[in-house]
Chain A
């Protein structure tokens, strides 16, 4: 069975594309055939984060309009043979996506035995964001411990519960998971930042994992390598944990507490 996962947030800049790239790579590295789709038509960036920007020939809009086949548009990842990227169009209007077209692409991917399809949603609640989540089975709600992001996540939860295929057809609702990103345990401890518990109290979501604020996220995007490939970094490990947890492994939560001991104090977070 194919599982469609939307990575969503409402608010921009919280780490949707970083998360999409990382978890898609994580599934693929675990041996699952995975596709990751950029729904941000007009502002595509997943290709850059995945490091395949120079290999983009066709995109999702070309496939929907029959200008290319899905096989022509899918880019095989250079790090992992199980991973394929479907880029968004950079030149077309954001209304170029259609529900029917997206549905057909997802069906075709399922027929090609893709196990996981990760839909990287654009910010906002307009067409691209709507279509990214419409067909989803699971939603990874990426949230920063910050008021605007938490509010927008709550708004997104409302939309997931009412405007998706599962909602419209009275199927089992989309499973929603919280990914708390850019978390600083140090700032939480001194009362400068909302804690995991605070955010969970407000959103009442199942916590899939906490990604600590980390320099490794920027260095990973600089070089076009999903951060999960940086296995020594805290953010890379946090994403690996998230993938494992989602796949049913029992991984205790990390990065919630401040680093203890003199070693951590001197060397800080990476």
Chain B
């Protein structure tokens, strides 16, 4: 530790950095925890079907699974190109 460090007024402790990083990470990872395992395959196959008819890129489809106490929601979002060909 250098002498200057003693004069810093707000020195963030490494433990609070650790806590913040963990809270973000754990919240993110928990959101995937209850997802059904077929989700990536579903996304891939949906994309193949859509690409048969519409010229969309690989990243233009998103599949989201959400769960609360009462229901499970499967949300599929497809972004179509401006000019359909």
Residues in A with CB closer than 8 Å to B8 are none
Closest A residue, CB atoms, query B14? A192
Q: Among the listed A150, A188, A190, A191, which residue makes an inter-chain contact with B22, where contact means beta carbons less than 8 Å apart?
A: A150
Are A195 and B15 also in contact (CB < 8 A) when A147-B21, A150-B22, A202-B22 are? yes
Asked whether B33 is an interface residue with its Cβ less than 8 Å from the other chain, the reply is yes
Residues in A with CB closer than 8 Å to B26 are 150-151, 154, 202-203
Residues in B with CB closer than 8 Å to A195 are 15
Q: Mark A135-179, 1 if CB is under 8 A from B, else 0.
A: 000000000001100110011001000100000000000000000
Residues in A with CB closer than 8 Å to B19 are 194, 198, 201-202
Closest B residue, CB atoms, query A191? B13
Asked whether A193 is an interface residue with its Cβ less than 8 Å from the other chain, the reply is yes
Give the secondary structure class of B's interface.
helix
Asked whether B45 is an interface residue with its Cβ less than 8 Å from the other chain, the reply is no
C-alpha spacing A155/B19, complex, angstroms: 16
Residues in A with CB closer than 8 Å to B33 are 158, 162
**B23 and A202: CB pair below 8 A?**
yes
C-alpha spacing A155/B13, complex, angstroms: 26
**A194 and B15: CB pair below 8 A?**
yes
C-alpha spacing A193/B18, complex, angstroms: 8
C-alpha spacing A79/B52, complex, angstroms: 72
**A151 and B15: CB pair below 8 A?**
no
Are A154 and B29 also in contact (CB < 8 A) when A147-B22, A202-B23 are? yes
Residues in B with CB closer than 8 Å to A158 are 30, 33
Asked whether B9 is an interface residue with its Cβ less than 8 Å from the other chain, the reply is no
Q: Mark A227-248, 1 if CB is under 8 A from B, else 0.
A: 0000000000000000000000
Candidate in B16, B18, B23 with the most chain A CB atoms within 10 angstroms: B18
Residues in A with CB closer than 8 Å to B16 are 191
Closest B residue, CB atoms, query A190? B13
Q: Mark A175-216, 1 if CB is under 8 A from B, else 0.
A: 000000000000010111111001001110000000000000
Q: Among the listed A154, A188, A203, which residue makes an inter-chain contact with B15, where contact means beta carbons less than 8 Å apart?
A: A188
C-alpha spacing A253/B39, complex, angstroms: 44
**Minimum C-beta distance from A39 to chain B (A):** 23
**B13 and A192: CB pair below 8 A?**
yes
**B22 and A151: CB pair below 8 A?**
yes
Asked whether B25 is an interface residue with its Cβ less than 8 Å from the other chain, the reply is yes
Residues of A within 8 A of B (CB): 146-147, 150-151, 154-155, 158, 162, 188, 190-195, 198, 201-203
| A-B contacts, 7 listed (Cβ < 8 Å) | A147-B18, A150-B26, A151-B22, A151-B29, A155-B29, A162-B34, A191-B14
